[in-house]
């Protein structure tokens, strides 16, 4: 892991109060959104998350999972997981987005709403 990635992870942990790895999947549907993390398997969904959550993905864009590691008052921290390593970190505020790319495609994560302890996120996958 490069120093910049390690520094970003440590900074995120300090700012957002990350206490460890994501816990059991825990999400609630937003109005008109998907009902659970299983609906995100193809990388296209909208979820209301209220705590750390692991979202399994089918790998069509190179990502095999996405973890919401923390929800703070100003930002949400995400980890994308890929087969064979190359995990990535993104920290996104309200109305912001982050895109994780690989040779297989890209996974975009957008924060639609952000409240203390809850966020509505949108995942969208595009082939490479």
Q: DSSP assignment, residue 37? A: G
pLDDT in tens, 46-65: 999 999 999 999 998 899 99
Tokens matching residue 2: 């490069």
C-alpha torsion angle, residues 13, 101, 45, 1 (rounded to 10): -20
Which tokens hold the place of 30? 């937003």
CA distance 4 to 7: 5
Locate the domains of the chain by residue range.
Answer: 3-127
The residues pairing with 51 across neighbouring beta strands, listed in sequence order, are: none
The three-class DSSP label of residue 35 is coil
Q: What is the pLDDT of residues 23-54, one digit of tens each?
A: 333 444 444 344 489 999 999 999 999 999 99
Rounded to two decimals, the pTM is: 0.73
What is the tens place of the pLDDT at every residue in 92-109? 999 999 999 988 899 999
pLDDT for the residue 65: 95
């Amino acid at each position: 892991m490069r120093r910049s990635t390690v520094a970003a992870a440590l900074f995120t942990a300090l700012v957002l109060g990350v206490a460890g790895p994501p816990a059991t999947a825990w999400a609630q549907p937003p109005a008109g959104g998907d009902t659970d993390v299983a609906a995100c398997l193809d990388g296209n969904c909208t979820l209301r998350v209220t705590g750390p959550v692991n979202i399994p993905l089918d790998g069509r864009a190179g990502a095999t999972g996405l973890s919401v590691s923390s929800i703070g008052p100003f930002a949400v921290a995400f980890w994308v997981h890929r087969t064979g390593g190359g995990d990535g970190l993104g920290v996104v505020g309200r109305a912001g987005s982050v895109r994780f790319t690989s040779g297989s495609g890209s996974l975009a994560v957008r924060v639609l709403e952000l409240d203390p302890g809850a966020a509505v996120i949108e995942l969208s996958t595009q082939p490479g």
